[in-house]
Chains A and B, each alone.
Chain A
Amino acid sequence: MAQVFPKWVDSIPKRLLIGIIIVLNGVVFGIWYFFSPEFTHMGYAPEQPVPFSHKQHVSVLGLDCQYCHTQVFESRHANIPGTQTCMNCHGQLATESEALAPVRESSDTGSAIEWIRVYDLPDYAYFNHSAHVNVGVGCESCHGRVDRMDVVFQATPMSMSWCLDCHREPEKHVRPVDQVTEMGYNVANQLETGRDLVAKHNINAPLYCQSCHY
């Protein structure tokens, strides 16, 4: 009787096995790699109740970050400003703008504007803005070029390994404290100046768990 199956059929189990291994590995790798904050969280740009443009206010008008985020050097929060801060100018400028209606309402009634949080760390991770800006970690290092954003989006992964990259080698990232709010800061000899700043500010970025998790 002739062979029902040709000879190459014998190799099917082997090929199948190898194929499954490759596919499974691919799936594991895919999940491990692509389900990380770099892909799931970066670029998150929720629609805000007021279409506030950082680009307009920073690049065009030249406001410093601290005009609104006043407490960033003292507090763990870089506070969202009170409505009064908006009304400093918008009490006189664009007073009829429809986009600003929620701001005027908040100012009139005292109710809060409900901003959507963009950078949202897990509750078990404690981040302190003042600890970072006071030793020369620029706003830009974590929040990206806010001066170019019409709508604020998450510019960095905010994953633990990303935090640790800087905690392990702060000299690659630090800048003089008076330039932390500078956008587009760039020096040719970052490593050299960085090392000087690390020594000057006595920076010992902690790597133990409870520096952030407690």
Chain B
Amino acid sequence: MSEEVKQNSYWKSLKELSRNEEYEKFLHREFPENASEMTDQVSRRSFLRVMGASIALAGFAACRRPAQKILPYSAMPENMVLGEPQFYATGMPFQDTVTGLLAENNEGRPTKIEGNELHPSSSGRTNIYHQAAILGLYDPDRSRAIHHNGERASREEFIDFVREHFSDGNRRIAFVSGENSSPTLSRLRNQAESAYPNAQWVNWEAFGEENSLEGARMAYGQRLRTVPHFDRASVILSLDDDFMNPWAHKNSVINAKELNEGRQVRSVEDRMSRLYMVESNFSNTGSMADHRLRLKASEIETFARALAERLSRSISGLNAFSSVNNRFTDHDWVETVAADLLSHRSESLVTAGTFQGAELHAIVAAINLALGNIGQTLTLHELPHDSGRTSVEGLRFLTESLQAGEIDTVILLGTNPVFNAPSDLGFPSALEQAGTVIHLSDYIDETSRLATWHIPHAHFLEAWGDGLGFGGHRSVIQPQIAPLHDGWSDIELLHLIVDREWSDGYDLVRETWQSFYPGNFEQQWRRILHDGIDPESGFEPVSVSLNGNFSSEIQSGGTDPVQGIEITIRPHSTIFDGRFANNGWLMELPDPMTKITWDNVALMSPATARDLGISVERGLSERDTPVIRIEADGETIEIAAWVQPGHADNSISLTAGFGRRNAGRVGNGVGVDVYPLRTTDSMYIQSASVTVTGQSYEIACVQDHHSLEGRALIRKATLEEYRENPDFASFENVHGYPIPGLKEGIAEGGDRPISLFSPQQFPEHEPQWGMAIDLNSCFGCGVCTIACQAENNIPVIGKREVTRRRIMHWIRTDRYYEGDADNPKALHQPVPCMHCDMAPCEQVCPVAATTQSEDGINQMTYNRCIGTRYCSNNCPFKVRRFNFFNYTKEYLTTGDDPEIIQMAMNPDVTIRFRGVMEKCTYCVQRLHRAKLATRRETGSKKPADGTVETACQQACPANAISFGDLTDPESHVTRLKRNERNYVMLEELNVRPRTSYLARLNNPNPELTQ
């Protein structure tokens, strides 16, 4: 066994690494002190408050009387089988992309989002925003009525106002919209601009793609979208591009899928692409990288220039950089990465982060062009809806026009600039200069408060719409339900203003699409509705050459690295720019790297923390997180400091979107608003001064929960080591001795360790379910957790309950660090219930509420559970979750609209009540449905491989989770379990889990030691 394969150096937190006494005490209590009480009135109230929109997904307890009613349809719809879900294609718009989705409908209400396999932006997979959209739809805090100056008004009043107000064609109107690719919106926009010649149109996104477009303009002379194809690349260099995460890249689902395709190893012959990552914060993509270099965000451009210079020595097209000489010129990374890129011309790919400056994008664009990657590993496309200017330019122009009194009417289609505009613009006060402000939005938010008219926005699952996928595929957004709160879509409002007559979104979208299919519209339309997409559409690739004045553009521009401490401002990983702040599923989803819920923090490296006088080893427990004061451009915020191992020194990462004032009951006042630090000159990176305030703050972090004491839970090797020793992940190779009891077991004629218990006999007519999770694919995004939450009616419990370690997620993703605290590697491991054949939980339940089923599921019978929690205590994997409170019922008695919340529930899954244990069921409701369907068709109870998927498996963009019948020797999961990399956690316990893991592989460059 080689030394490198030793598996004992993983750790989850700095506290664990330092192993102090307090930490030991913390670990040995299963739940922290006072965990079983909910004493203080204040916290109880705030708990009820956060239960707000989300927690309260609840149904009624079973009771015999009062009588339940059955309400049949008056006229039964065709093709509907009551009790069987129906799936319809739709799509989720996000900025200017639409991702094709399928919505599961139960008796006419959408309850779950799944990917659309036919859609090239989804490929059947989803991200966290897609999965959480269901909760957004049923959020009771959504705006429910038109408001005029803060008072409820009727639809007719508004329509009358529009007719009167817009009869004057000379109105000086400003339309403000998010980035939007809808062909119908474009059509109406053209109409609006001709109907109101004095109108101007502004696109505002707080975190858009503009720098990438601008970089392309500098390099190629035209603004083009870069579409990467990671599956075609052998060597990938990412410069601060967390391209697998939805907050950082609009095509994250496909990026994750394609990267995984290029790195999937099933046998020793398989090849694997190599990923280099240069970044300041530790991202998920960084944790997948074979090599990771931590640099200040403002230094990355300097690094890219040095790399371009090194490449220019061997290839043409980079002459602009031939005179560059900076501190990275002799860096080993520049030399090694350049050599690797050069030996993989036209099969390499360099990407730049969305939140880096346009210059970096331009340098990267020139490098890709010089390496011959364009048309191979990436394609370039013109955007038909591109406004030609950056968001900030647009907003600045609008603000100045407002201040000059040149605008009398502002119409905002769904954005929230009062909250997220750069602070130096003074947008809120400028907006007050406008005579009339009409704001269409989901919530009565910060901007709505300043609006004359507020119009409730229809959710995308409620209204007709259209848009383009990231690759330009025309998609239809099909509503699944009539608007719950009489909301309007942006096209309906815009049409009303243009035409001063009401028209339904359906007619508007059809009218647009008629021009695409002049011959056989009806036939095409029906096919597109069914598929959700026109597969023949899509952007044409553009071929480019280097811009003539590239040298002068790139030399005159360019930013010097920030001296001293820099801060970076990025959207938050779960709530993005603040638009999902009232979504409890996303709020409570632990950040994929820090594992913090319900807050944003200032991330910094251990060295920077020490410099600032923050103790790294002690004092960073969750309860007393030190608060720092950050000052930039005269603006100050105070925010909790958090040490992020692997972060670049002298750099602090902040995430925006928190600190909402008018988000709703879930999002109001949670976290710190960092937008005040953001100015038009420094949207993403700026220098700042930082001081420690001496105050402390409590953070709800799930990092230390359920620590597994450094056992060999994660196994990994390099590709080289795997080829030499394919069995590296076996118990014997890792530990150096065989599994205890195996010899005796074999002596008794078995192939497994001997056991005191006689194993259960599983009948032959039942399938035997099993799961395999490929750690080589998982990058820790957390979509499995949200998909599981949506599928299994899992409650949101609020920050206070999370600090008491009561988080209810059935599948968690453990994040382990390996190596030195300043520059570790990170790995992710999703942990659902292992469904042990010899489950320790089953042996201790006094009432037999948890037992083994005939198809191998460790079943939890809620109606039998009496809440002793012995099972949780005895579970070696700590996957059981206990309902300390009636997380759902509380809300039903105090809430204002329980019926809305009940609609979000999956009718196939019981709502659990107080005092009951729960955990992953392998989505037993889906298994039963598949078994029954198979049985009706074939008489067998064993569904064909691939016909049944668990919710987590179905959502995973990286295809990390495989699930199926272990009695089928050719099923995908059985083949994976035969792979040499397959191992189970804690094999020495002989509990025989059904869930196993495939060890992680890396493909490092032998030339590079770091």
A41 touches B64 (CB 8 A): yes
The smallest C-beta distance from B857 to any residue of chain A, in angstroms, reads 6
Q: With A84-B75, A124-B62 given, is the CB distance from A202 to B939 under 8 Å?
A: yes
The smallest C-beta distance from A95 to any residue of chain B, in angstroms, reads 17
| A125-161 interface bits toward B, Cβ cutoff 8 Å, 1 = contact, 0 = none | 1101011001000000000000000000000000000
| B52-80 interface bits toward A, Cβ cutoff 8 Å, 1 = contact, 0 = none | 00000001111010011111111110000
Of residues 910 to 935 in B, which have CB atoms within 8 Å of A's CB atoms? 910-911, 921, 924-925, 928, 932, 935
Task: Name the CB-closest residue of B to A80.
Answer: B72
B924 touches A74 (CB 8 A): no
B689 interfacial by beta-carbon distance below 8 Å:
no
B82 touches A123 (CB 8 A): no
Question: What residues on A are CB-neighbors of B484 within 8 Å?
Answer: none
The smallest C-beta distance from A10 to any residue of chain B, in angstroms, reads 44
| B432-453 interface bits toward A, Cβ cutoff 8 Å, 1 = contact, 0 = none | 0000000000000000000000
In angstroms, Cα B67 to Cα A115, docked, is 10
The smallest C-beta distance from B40 to any residue of chain A, in angstroms, reads 33
B155 interfacial by beta-carbon distance below 8 Å:
no
B72 touches A81 (CB 8 A): yes
Q: Which of A112, A117, A122 contacts B73 (CB 8 A)?
A: A112
Task: Name the CB-closest residue of A to B857.
Answer: A210
B71 touches A84 (CB 8 A): no
A98 interfacial by beta-carbon distance below 8 Å:
no
Question: What residues on B are CB-neighbors of A77 within 8 Å?
Answer: 82-83
| A37-70 interface bits toward B, Cβ cutoff 8 Å, 1 = contact, 0 = none | 0001100001000000000000000000000000
The smallest C-beta distance from B298 to any residue of chain A, in angstroms, reads 53
Which listed segment binds B: A15-23, A103-111, A167-175, A183-191? A103-111
A112 touches B908 (CB 8 A): no
Q: With A134-B936, A206-B854, A210-B924 given, is the CB distance from A122 to B863 under 8 Å?
A: yes
A interface bracket (residues with beta carbon within 8 Å of B): 35 or more
B interface bracket (residues with beta carbon within 8 Å of A): 35 or more
Question: Chain B interface mostly helix, strand, loop or mixed?
Answer: loop
In angstroms, Cα B921 to Cα A211, docked, is 12
- Among A113, A123, A125: residue with most chain B CB under 10 A: A123
B1010 interfacial by beta-carbon distance below 8 Å:
no
The smallest C-beta distance from B362 to any residue of chain A, in angstroms, reads 56
Q: Which of A46, A84, A115, A211 contacts B74 (CB 8 A)?
A: A84
A75 touches B64 (CB 8 A): no
In angstroms, Cα B548 to Cα A77, docked, is 70
In angstroms, Cα B861 to Cα A122, docked, is 13
B763 interfacial by beta-carbon distance below 8 Å:
yes
B69 touches A209 (CB 8 A): no
B854 touches A209 (CB 8 A): no
The smallest C-beta distance from B787 to any residue of chain A, in angstroms, reads 17
In angstroms, Cα B911 to Cα A12, docked, is 53
A8 interfacial by beta-carbon distance below 8 Å:
no
A123 touches B62 (CB 8 A): yes
Of residues 816 to 866 in B, which have CB atoms within 8 Å of A's CB atoms? 851-854, 857, 859, 861-864
A75 touches B859 (CB 8 A): no
In angstroms, Cα B791 to Cα A214, docked, is 13
Task: Name the CB-closest residue of A to B107.
Answer: A77
A208 interfacial by beta-carbon distance below 8 Å:
yes
Of residues 69 to 83 in A, which have CB atoms within 8 Å of B's CB atoms? 71, 74-77, 79-83
B765 interfacial by beta-carbon distance below 8 Å:
yes
B542 interfacial by beta-carbon distance below 8 Å:
no
| B806-822 interface bits toward A, Cβ cutoff 8 Å, 1 = contact, 0 = none | 00000000000000000
B1 interfacial by beta-carbon distance below 8 Å:
no
B332 interfacial by beta-carbon distance below 8 Å:
no
Q: With A208-B854, A210-B859 given, is the CB distance from A130 to B932 under 8 Å?
A: yes
The smallest C-beta distance from A141 to any residue of chain B, in angstroms, reads 19
Question: What residues on B are CB-neighbors of A46 within 8 Å?
Answer: 67
Question: What residues on A are CB-neighbors of B70 within 8 Å?
Answer: 80, 114-117
In angstroms, Cα B76 to Cα A106, docked, is 12
In angstroms, Cα B921 to Cα A209, docked, is 12
Q: Which of A84, A114, A210 contacts B921 (CB 8 A)?
A: A210
B69 touches A116 (CB 8 A): yes
A124 touches B83 (CB 8 A): no
The smallest C-beta distance from A73 to any residue of chain B, in angstroms, reads 8
The smallest C-beta distance from A119 to any residue of chain B, in angstroms, reads 10
| B731-775 interface bits toward A, Cβ cutoff 8 Å, 1 = contact, 0 = none | 000000000000000000000000000000001011000000000
Question: What residues on B are CB-neighbors of A209 within 8 Å?
Answer: 851, 853, 859, 861, 864
Task: Name the CB-closest residue of B to A84.
Answer: B75
B861 touches A114 (CB 8 A): no
Q: Which of B84, B766, B862 contacts A75 (CB 8 A)?
A: B84
Identify the B interface with A (CB < 8 A).
59-62, 64, 67-76, 81-84, 763, 765-766, 851-854, 857, 859, 861-864, 908-911, 921, 924-925, 928, 932, 935-936, 939-941
26 contacts between A and B (CB under 8 A): A46-B67, A71-B81, A75-B81, A82-B75, A83-B72, A84-B75, A106-B74, A110-B74, A112-B73, A115-B69, A116-B69, A117-B68, A117-B70, A122-B863, A123-B910, A123-B911, A128-B928, A128-B932, A204-B765, A204-B941, A208-B859, A209-B851, A209-B861, A210-B921, A210-B924, A214-B924
Identify the A interface with B (CB < 8 A).
40-41, 46, 71, 74-77, 79-85, 106-107, 109-117, 120-126, 128, 130-131, 134, 201-202, 204, 206, 208-211, 213-214
**Known pairs A123-B910, A210-B853, A214-B924. 14 more at Cβ < 8 A?**
A40-B64, A41-B64, A74-B84, A75-B82, A82-B74, A83-B75, A110-B74, A110-B75, A126-B908, A131-B932, A134-B936, A202-B939, A208-B859, A210-B861
6 tightest Cβ-Cβ pairs between the two chains A and B: A82-B76, A112-B71, A122-B62, A210-B859, A208-B853, A75-B83
